[in-house]
Amino acid sequence: MSFNNTNTDILVVSNEATFDLREPANTQPLRQAGAFAAFTVDFLIYPLDTIKTRVQSPDYRRLYTSNGTVNRSLFRGLYQGIGSVVLATLPSSGAFFTTYEASKTFLHAINPLLPSSPTTPLIPLPILHAAASSTGELVSCFILTPAEVLKQNAQMVVRDASSSSSNTQASDGNATRQAFNKFRSNPSQLWRGYTALVARNLPFTAMQFPLFEFLRTKIYKSRERQGLRSGTLLETGLVTAFSAGSAGTLAAVVTTPIDVVKTRIMLAAATGSGDEGQREKLIKEMQAQGKDAKAEIEKAQQAARGGRAGGVAVGREILRTEGVKGLFRGGALRGAWTAAGSGLYLGVYESGRRYLERRRVGDEGLAPY
């Protein structure tokens, strides 16, 4: 599952980590600390997500550039839309865990044992767990999609440069309300991009965690050969953070084309719910800025078609009009925040897990270190 929604990507990490990293017996404090850490990290990196959404938007040049250079509007209202994601995170996380546990129990129950080895299941457990995780992701994304659609459309609400920071035309709440108003006539549009969100999150997780485990194991073995392995919480945190950040960066960059398609579909969902007045307003804005209205409107219409077309069609349209470079818009930003978010979260999570595990062992009368 994904917490990007601020970065729907950090919650992928937090959900997968909870069952993948061997928790100690008493996990309630760790889950609470993990949830707090996820929210904190997500809040800190949210501005990068906002900039990424704007860069991936088909309106990027029209709204955020002047004479070929980036203008200040790109960096205004960087926390617009965060409220909708915060509200959706807890129920989507709960749905993920509930569905995952139920699916895992069901798959274990129907998985037969090999006749030649009564203790060996026919289907390997990692495959069952991956299937259960994917099922949980499908349910979680269904809850997250409306929040992600609102978030990305709120991120695109243009703030008034003459407004002060305390009295803006589009504060976070106001921007979210403006985005929501676009869907009043057709609320079902809030689920546009569900398939694209799932298509991004599943391969992201599938790539990140095997690579994360591989890198972490390699680093530990290398330190053991060099006689540098200390087993301290600091070493655990640093090695985990580096491995998770590196794996997350690669997975984020590789899945950027899917993320771009997702962004276009979700932004176009609001366009598809609008009226003809929006088109006239757009024409006047572009003419006032001295821009080629015909070319820009064609792009806007292509974006609107994206709200109704499938992900493959949208990807082909981006490739046709913008080339390969267009499919990787925002890839560097996405890689940077995933490195920071995954590294910080999993580093803190794994250090906390080890700390609680050692404290529990110490309470049982054994050496904690």
Dump pLDDT digits (tens) for 119-174.
Answer: 788 888 878 888 888 898 999 999 999 999 999 999 999 865 554 444 444 455 68
Cβ-count burial 267-299 (b if 16+ within 10 Å, e if not): bbbbbbbbeeeeeeebeeebeeeeeeeeebeeb
Phi and psi at 167, nearest 5°, equal -140, 75
CA distance 101 to 12: 16
* pTM of this structure: 0.78
For the CA atoms of 247, 250, 93, 171, what is the dihedral angle to 10 degrees? 130
Looking at the predicted structure, is the pLDDT value of residue 21 above 70? no
Q: Is the pLDDT of residue 103 over 60?
A: yes
Quickly state the pLDDT bin for 344 (edges 50, 70, 90): confident
Q: Packing angle between helix 311-327 and helix 194-225, nearest 10 degrees?
A: 50
The residue length of the chain stands at 369
Over pLDDT 90: what percentage of the chain? 36
Match 């960059």 to its residue by tokens. Answer: 253
Which residue bears the tokens 């409306």? 146
Banded pLDDT at 356 (limits 50, 70, 90): confident
**DSSP annotation of 117:** E
Least confident of 34-48, 190-204, 277-291: 277-291
CB 81 within 8 A of CB 172: yes
> In this predicted model, which residue has the larger pLDDT, 212 or 26?
212
**Taking the CB of residue 355, how many other CB atoms lie within 10 A of it?**
17
Task: Give CA–CA dist 1/133, Å, rounded.
Answer: 9
- Read off the DSSP letter of residue 269: H
Mean predicted confidence (pLDDT) in 283-303: 54
State pLDDT tens for residues 239-271. Answer: 999 999 999 999 999 999 999 999 999 999 887
**How does 35-65 read in b/e, with b if 16+ C-beta sit within 10 Å?**
eebbbebbeebbbbbbbbbbbbbbbbebebe
pLDDT value of position 342: 87
| Cα–Cα separations (whole angstroms), residue 363 to 22, 23, 174, 217, 256 | 19, 17, 51, 29, 47
- Average pLDDT score over residue span 269-298: 57
In order of 36, 308, 317, the CA distances from 116 in angstroms are 47, 52, 53
Q: What are residue 167's DSSP bridge partners?
A: 164
What pLDDT is stored for residue 35 in this prediction?
66
